[in-house]
């Protein structure tokens, strides 16, 4: 059965037609039991005046997690360092490192090792606004 170009609903309908609803339920329950759920945790900085400040606050939060969870420091530090380096390169490449921002970091802990997955960056444009004041006599 070729599955390319089909929606998940179409594939499921074909499986039910071929195997029967009960067998599909059994297979799905076996798959769910075999694959442990991935726990994804989140760290979020407050809005910081610059991207560098947000990365610094995120670093402090990451180290707090590593310490509190009693994680493997060396491997966790290596993972964080590589992620932070790429994050800083990304901020610099998009020329937003000097803008006010908040960073949300999604991570997992596997085998007592901190593993950052992705970051969402909310940055705020700095656009000058002008207002005129004329004193009244």
Residue 87, both tokens: 């994050």
Asked if the structure places residue 82 within a domain, the reply is: yes
Asked if the structure places residue 85 within a domain, the reply is: yes
Asked if the structure places residue 114 within a domain, the reply is: yes
The mean pLDDT of 1-18, rounded to a whole number, is 78
Asked if the structure places residue 105 within a domain, the reply is: yes
Confidence of residue 1 (pLDDT cuts 50, 70, 90): very low
User: pLDDT digit string (tens) for 57-107?
Assistant: 999 999 999 999 899 999 999 999 999 999 999 999 999 999 999 999 999
When divided into structural domains, the chain yields a total of: 1
pTM for this structure? 0.65
The pLDDT of residue 75 is 96
By residue range, what is the domain housing residue 89?
41-123
What pairs with residue 61 in β-bridges? none
| Pairing verdict, β 41-44 and 113-123 | unpaired
Confidence of residue 48 (pLDDT cuts 50, 70, 90): very high
Asked if the structure places residue 31 within a domain, the reply is: no
Asked if the structure places residue 28 within a domain, the reply is: no
Cα separation of 67 and 74, whole Å?
A: 12
Please name the residue ranges forming H helices in 1-133: 8-19, 21-34, 51-68, 73-93
Asked if the structure places residue 70 within a domain, the reply is: yes
């Amino acid at each position: 059965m070729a599955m390319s170009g089909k929606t998940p609903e179409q594939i499921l309908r074909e499986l039910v037609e071929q195997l029967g609803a009960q067998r599909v339920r059994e297979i799905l329950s076996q798959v769910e039991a075999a694959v442990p759920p991935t726990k994804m945790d989140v760290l979020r900085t407050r809005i910081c005046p610059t991207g560098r400040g947000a990365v610094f606050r995120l670093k402090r939060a990451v180290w707090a997690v590593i310490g509190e969870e009693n994680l493997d420091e060396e491997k966790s530090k290596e993972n964080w360092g590589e992620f932070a380096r790429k994050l800083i390169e990304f901020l610099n490449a998009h020329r937003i490192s000097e803008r006010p921002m908040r960073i949300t970091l999604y991570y997992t802990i596997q085998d007592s090792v901190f593993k950052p997955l992705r970051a969402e960056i909310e940055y705020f444009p700095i656009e000058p606004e002008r207002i005129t004041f004329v004193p009244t006599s």
